[in-house]
Structure 1
Amino acid sequence: MNEKKTLIKCRQLALGYGSKDIVRDLDYDINVGDYLCIVGRNGSGKTTFLRGLAGLLSPKAGSIELCDGLQRNEIGFLPQMTVVQKDFPASVEEIVLSAFQGKFRLLPFYRRAQRERAMECMALTRTESLAKSCFRELSGGQKQRVLLARALCAAERLLLLDEPVTGLDPESTETMYHIIEELHKKGMTIIMVTHDVDTALDDANRVMDFNDISVKGK
């Protein structure tokens, strides 16, 4: 049996806002190829932890160490959709291509390789036929798949998903879960915050329960 490679090490990690610590004394390793689902009640620290992994929130104490050569620009992050995002007056292709503005210096045009990668990501999320459509005119499920495609443009090794099916109808939810599972089978390491415990147990190879301190520290 091959030994698993560690992708991220968290040691004595504390994360929070202002004077309030939301995540405390967390020791946890994430391995290459994991499909990790994070569950727990609202306010337990799930999104805070994900933001820390994405590099959007600095540790108040302890450390988050990227291992096995992982770079920040190889991490894609799909946050919870905001009202502003739902009303972007841009085409699907423009939304997906905008991911490269965060990976490279802003250019007056996109390179051919970037456009090809964007089309690959749209194909993976079944949105390539929507490339010229206006984003704000799409259904909720379509919008979320477009934003997933955008996150994939940044995700070369690790994809962080914060409740990616919230507000979606059952059919769109099932489609999203199928896409995420397909991405994992292709070798992507997945970390997903979810309230859907049954799906987490069915699809994930690891579950992290923020309601249970004993589990948090493993």
Structure 2
Amino acid sequence: MSLIECNDVSFSYEGKTIVSGLSFNIQAGDYLCIVGENGSGKSTLIKGLLGLKSPALGKITFGSGLTQKEIGYLPQQTGIQRNFPASVYEVVLSGTLGKSPLRPFYSLKEKRVAEHNMEKLGILNLSKRCYRELSGGQQQRVLLARALCATKRLILLDEPVAGLDPIVTAEMYSLIKKLNREDNITVIMVSHDIHGTIDDSTHILHMGTKPLFFGKTEDYIKSDVGKIFLCGEHTRSKDHLKNKECQEAEDNMNCSGRSDDEDDLKNGECDD
């Protein structure tokens, strides 16, 4: 059974539809990368998965015993978050709060979980440091460790490498891949950095006002919508696309009229 299944889901704000007709499913161990232009509803979907926003239409179903309290979440960084006046240990430990009612102390088990996740991400030596004094990359590791304190099954990451330099970005991607491959943690990640994630993800969800693609990463690379997006992002992967292929993909998309049917989007065929 799927961990998460979205069936014909739509989201709206003040009567305006942001996302419509979205259907996909997540299996245990998947690494899903969610891409799309600004305003396509990526962060709105994350809020829906977390239970912070209800669909206007359709249904989101959780399976295999998964509950929203068992989802670890790494949000987009804000100025307030970056300047949060707490120790690294306190920030990471707070990730255990979702599992139990509020109380004035943490259990020994919760403290061990926090220490284990800090050690796993290489930040145990920073435990007494003030969070706001850390570099951007260190802060993201702290927030990832915090997310892991909430779950052993599924993490949602909203732009986890935004604002990080290339070396730190590569390190962050490596950590996420390791969690997915070695710890079998299911990953759902929103990213604008498609060329940085395409080698690690197992599936791609390309969002627009209407969904443009959902499927395996290798199929996305071959699809017209994938080719156009990858060209636009100036991918530097070893399978980079030639300009001629980009133009052919765009022509196919134009002649297909951006059909709602996924197979039409993949094949992009039309009569002469």
Shorter-chain TM-score tier? over 0.9
Of 211, 214, 223, 1:213 maps to 211
User: 1:16 Cα shift?
Assistant: 2.7
- Partner SS, residue 160 of structure 2: coil
Correspondence for 1:79? 75
Correspondence for 1:180? 176
Query: Under a length normalisation based on structure 2, what TM-score does the superposition of the two structures give?
Result: 0.76
Q: 1:214 to 1:195 in 2, by over 3 A?
A: closer
Correspondence for 1:197? 194
Residue type of the partner of 1:57? K
1:123 aligns with 2:89: no
Residues 59-114 of structure 1: CA deviation (Å, up to 9, x unaligned): 11111000111111110111101110000111000011112223211111110000
Query: Under a length normalisation based on structure 1, what TM-score does the superposition of the two structures give?
Result: 0.94
Of 85, 88, 94, 1:89 maps to 85
Residue type of the partner of 1:173? T
Residues 180-204 of structure 1: CA deviation (Å, up to 9, x unaligned): 0010011000000011111222110
- Partner SS, residue 90 of structure 2: helix
Correspondence for 1:48? 44
Correspondence list, 1:100-119, <5 A: 100-119=96-115
Residue type of the partner of 2:141? R
User: 1:167 Cα shift?
Assistant: 0.3
Give distance in 1, aligned partners of 2:51 and 2:153: 15
Give distance in 1, aligned partners of 2:16 and 2:186: 30
User: 1:48 Cα shift?
Assistant: 0.8
What is the root-mean-square deviation in Å for CA atoms of aligned residues?
Answer: 1.4
Give distance in 2, aligned partners of 1:116 and 1:187: 21
- How many residues in Structure 1 have an aligned counterpart in Structure 2? 214
Structure with higher RCO (Cα < 8 A, 6+ apart): 1
Q: Which runs of 5+ in 2 are unaligned?
A: 215-260, 263-272
Correspondence for 1:69? 65
Is this contact kept in 2: 1:124–1:179, CA < 8 A? no
User: 1:121 Cα shift?
Assistant: 1.2
Q: Which has the larger radius of gyration?
A: 2
Give distance in 1, aligned partners of 2:93 and 2:16: 37
Residue type of the partner of 1:46? K
- Partner SS, residue 149 of structure 2: helix
Correspondence list, 1:127-138, <5 A: 127-138=123-134
Give distance in 1, aligned partners of 2:198 and 2:132: 34
Q: 1:92 to 1:28 in 2, by over 3 A?
A: same
- Partner SS, residue 73 of structure 2: strand
Is this contact kept in 1: 2:87–2:127, CA < 8 A? yes
Give distance in 1, aligned partners of 2:17 and 2:201: 28
